[in-house]
Amino acid sequence: MVLPEESRKADYDSLEIQYLKGVKYLFENGIEHVPKKYILPASDRPNFVNERSHGADNFNLELPIIDFAELQGPNRSEVLNSLASACENYGFFQLLNHGIPYEITSNVVDVSKRFFELPFSEREKYMSADMGSPVRYGTSYNQTNDDVFCWRDFLKLVCHPLPDALPHWPSSPLDFRKLAVSYAKEVKFLFLMLVDAILESLGLMNKKNKTEENDEDEDEDKNKEEDEDEEILKEFEDGSQLMVLNCYPPCPQPDLTLGMPPHSDYGFLTLLLQDEVKGLQIQHKENWVTVKPIPGSFVVNVGDHLEIFSNGTFKSVLHRVLVNQMNYRISVASLHCLPFKSIVQPCPKLVSETNPRHYMDTNFASFIEYLKSRDSTKENFLHSRKLTS
């Protein structure tokens, strides 16, 4: 029996409404098969057979480790070299001994879980198509434009300026705002310390040795450079911070879909806090490799802005998220960049005749336009900023 066109359209519209409610809603309602809306083309699916044929050592990747405590000690120069190497060759590193108390990191993961466990009627209060909203609950990657949805629900929280954004954040669970604010403040301070180290690793921070004696001209030049350094850091202090709570429910057919498709991060640096469930993969030496979680650590990655700012020295690397059949996965990503109105461009000190400028200027408005027009066939945002030789 062939259904009339009106009936088929009604069924399709009903399914679309369900999909827009998110994968947590689908999972709660006992879905047993991945709907067609979430099934990727065969060429885009996680290819477990080929990846595993390379061997377990390649399938699981231990990222370079940066010890934040060592970065603040007498071995700083050595750690800076390791930091630069990680940003050049991997675009990612694991940050240990970061100084944020375990209670704060564990609390934000716990309250994130409790938010996603709220009834859908509570979660949907924060659904919005407005990308500038101080709080936005949604699903997939870009549910407005995605032809194929991915297996993720998210809650995005604008964190700067915090006094303006906070009244819009969820008030349930009751301790949500308190715990999320504590975490947001700690991770912003950590980000600024990392920026200072990254700029120094690029040779951009003039660390003046007060024991040296210099002539007046050299002192004047050093003072000017120090003022410029302070201006850069001040701009990052006033920069934007977006916190994204991600929920990846168990998936009945994880080989057909992804938690997030391959993408690079807009912004300067992303600090990712994740639970102990594997899922994050990065593209390394043309292979997809799974990052082994280290309890208590941050996974830090170079964003598009940092690749542009470094004129290509540091790499913003494609990454994606796998899902699994058995376990929920929760992660909290803190994305940091310059103020929304700032122009991002290669640092003039890193442009020369032997290393000409590789990227055009960009800003947040151009990124929003890219997101609105993005489809699965379009180049990623960073590639759209590259200058042709």
pLDDT tens digits for 261-316? 999 998 999 999 999 999 999 999 989 999 999 988 999 999 999 999 999 999 99
* Burial (CB count <10 Å: 0-12, 13-18, 19+), residue 12: exposed
For the chain, give the number of residues.
389
Rounded Cα distance between 106 and 103, Å, is: 5
User: CA-CA distance, 243 to 223, in Å (whole number)?
Assistant: 36
SS3 273: strand
Element (H, E) at 24: helix 23-28
How many whole angstroms from its chain centre is CA 47?
23
Q: List the chain domain ranges.
A: 37-204+217-340
Q: Which residues of the chain have pLDDT under 70?
A: 1-16, 48-59, 206-229, 372-379, 389
Give residue 365's pLDDT.
76
Q: What is the dihedral of CA 22, 26, 32, 38, to 10 degrees?
A: -20
pLDDT at 375: 57
Counting beta carbons within 10 angstroms of the beta carbon of residue 24, is it exposed (0 to 12), middle (13 to 18) or buried (19 or more)?
buried
Q: How many CB atoms lie within 10 A of CB 52?
A: 11
Q: Identify the pLDDT of residue 376.
A: 46
In terms of CATH, what superfamily is 37-204+217-340? B-lactam Antibiotic, Isopenicillin N Synthase; Chain (2.60.120.330)
The pLDDT value recorded for residue 54 is: 45
Cβ atoms < 10 Å from Cβ of 84: 19
Q: Are 277 and 262 in contact (CB under 8 A)?
A: no
**Spacing of C-alpha 208 from chain mean position:** 34
Give Cα 337 distance to the centre of its chain: 11
Task: Output the CA torsion sign for 71, 77, 82, 86.
Answer: positive
Pairing of strands 298-302, 240-248: unpaired
